[in-house]
Amino acid sequence: MRPMASPSLLSPSASSLLLLRRLLLSRRRRRSSTPHSPPTPPLRRRLPLIAASMSYSSSSSSSAATRDSGSVVADADGLARKVAAISAAGPAKLQVIADFDGTLTRYWYDGARGQSSHGLLRQGNEEFDARREELFEHYHPIEICPDIPLPEKAKLMEEWWEKTHALLIEGGLTYEAIRKSVADAKITFRDGVVELFEFLEERDIPVLVFSAGLADIIEEVFRQKLHRSFKNIKVVSNRMIFNEEGRLVSFKGKTIHVLNKNEHALDMAAPVHDNLGDPNGSTDDYSLVKKRTNVLLLGDHIGDLGMSDGLNYENRIAVGFLNSNIEKSLKDYSTAFDIVYLNDAPMLGVVELASELCP
């Protein structure tokens, strides 16, 4: 949750990106110039094409059916079945659930580790920044310790989050400090995120961005880095209440921490529509979202798969971004996720996938 300096990994090659872009552009041109486009070939036949456009090379060390320098699909048949089922059900049944840090945003920034929405915050009060850092030093080892039983860990995570929130209030965090922190932050969206959001917005497909961070910061990142908003995006995260002087006084709803950020959070979080210029939004939005039983889930940790807990989904395609420790984690990731993108890949492969789901 805090910025760290790490050696840079290889980013996807420029030629891979170019090929992907060409692929996307040629499809767009085809769609706009021919009112009756020919039927698209089944995904099973096209997956190698997508992979080929990302510098395909086979590997004997993995059971993955499709492996290349940019992505891994362990079970192409299983994925093709899910794509066919979701595509047949139509966009009205689909929702996208996305993690924010390291998923919508890039892992690397100018050759160094980018900042998270938590890590970027400078309270404008060094003493309180230091006290939050002390909490990190104490609780982060607990967060990543595999030996602590989950119920106990969840309690401790809640404790950490509540202490942190209390320090933000006590230290007099202002909205202006958030604005400045975001402006100074080393944080950026993956290439292709805007294309993905536009594609989904055109088809009225909701995107729930789940984060254990702070909704107000995430929305400020959207404002400053994308310079626009999308009516289909809802941020489900911890939301602040500011007084008339712009000073933080409390938080809305229950605390969403790293171990409970899932669709149950929709029931306990504060309304998410009111900060996004959606005056007609209501809690009915949530029940409508829950009727969308096909899910495209985007995450960068295996724990992100839990974001769809609480939703009785029929089909779920899980896309994982494996940003670091690739050799060590690839096996687990390619088992857990239907598609794994490597090396801080752009979002363009997901745009392509979305166009398969909503042809």
Cβ proximity to Mg ion: between 51 and 258 the closer is 258
Q: Which residues inside 205-244 make contact with Mg ion, applying CB under 5 A?
A: none
Between CA 80 and CA 46 the distance in angstroms is 10
Q: Which residues inside 140-179 make contact with Mg ion, applying CB under 5 A?
A: none
Min dist. Cβ of residue 274 to Mg ion (A): 25
Between CA 340 and CA 69 the distance in angstroms is 11
Which of 240, 237, 242, 243 lies closest to 257, judged by CA?
A: 237
Cβ proximity to Mg ion: between 274 and 309 the closer is 309
Kindly give the pairing relationship between strand 108-109 and strand 112-113.
antiparallel
Chain residue at closest Cβ approach to Mg ion: 102
Q: Which residues inside 251-270 make contact with Mg ion, applying CB under 5 A?
A: none
241, β-bridge pairs: 250
The piece of 63-71, 87-95, 233-241, 296-304 that touches Mg ion (CB under 5 A) is 296-304
- Helix, strand, coil shares, percent, the chain, to 5: 45, 15, 40
Cβ proximity to Mg ion: between 101 and 216 the closer is 101
Distances (CA, A) of 181 to 176, 187, 238: 8, 11, 17
Q: Which residues inside 70-129 make contact with Mg ion, applying CB under 5 A?
A: 99, 101-102
Min dist. Cβ of residue 143 to Mg ion (A): 13
Residue 300 φ/ψ, nearest 5 degrees: -125, 5
Cβ proximity to Mg ion: between 93 and 106 the closer is 106
Between CA 216 and CA 329 the distance in angstroms is 32
Q: Does 320 bind Mg ion (CB under 5 A)?
A: no
Is 274 an annotated catalytic residue? no
Min dist. Cβ of residue 276 to Mg ion (A): 21
295, β-bridge pairs: 95, 316
CA-CA-CA-CA torsion sign (316, 264, 225, 115):
negative
Min dist. Cβ of residue 344 to Mg ion (A): 12
The number of angstroms, rounded, from the C-alpha of 134 to the middle of its chain's C-alpha atoms is 27
Count of residues in contact with Mg ion, rule CB under 5 A: 4
Cβ proximity to Mg ion: between 300 and 356 the closer is 300
Answer for the pair 71, 51: CB distance below 8 angstroms, yes or no: yes
Min dist. Cβ of residue 324 to Mg ion (A): 12
Pick the catalytic residue: 68, 75, 77, 99?
Answer: 99
Is 101 an annotated catalytic residue? yes
Pick the catalytic residue: 68, 77, 101, 284?
Answer: 101
Which of 315, 322, 353, 347 lies closest to 336, judged by CA?
A: 322
Cβ proximity to Mg ion: between 299 and 349 the closer is 299
Min dist. Cβ of residue 121 to Mg ion (A): 16
Cβ proximity to Mg ion: between 24 and 217 the closer is 217
Between CA 193 and CA 201 the distance in angstroms is 12
Between CA 12 and CA 344 the distance in angstroms is 8
Between CA 190 and CA 103 the distance in angstroms is 8
Between CA 114 and CA 188 the distance in angstroms is 8
Helix (H, G, I), strand (E, B) or coil at 40: coil
Min dist. Cβ of residue 301 to Mg ion (A): 6
| Residue in 216, 219, 300, 338 binding Mg ion, rule: CB under 5 A | 300
- Residues at the interface with Mg ion (CB under 5 A): 99, 101-102, 300
Annotated active-site positions, please? Answer: 99, 101
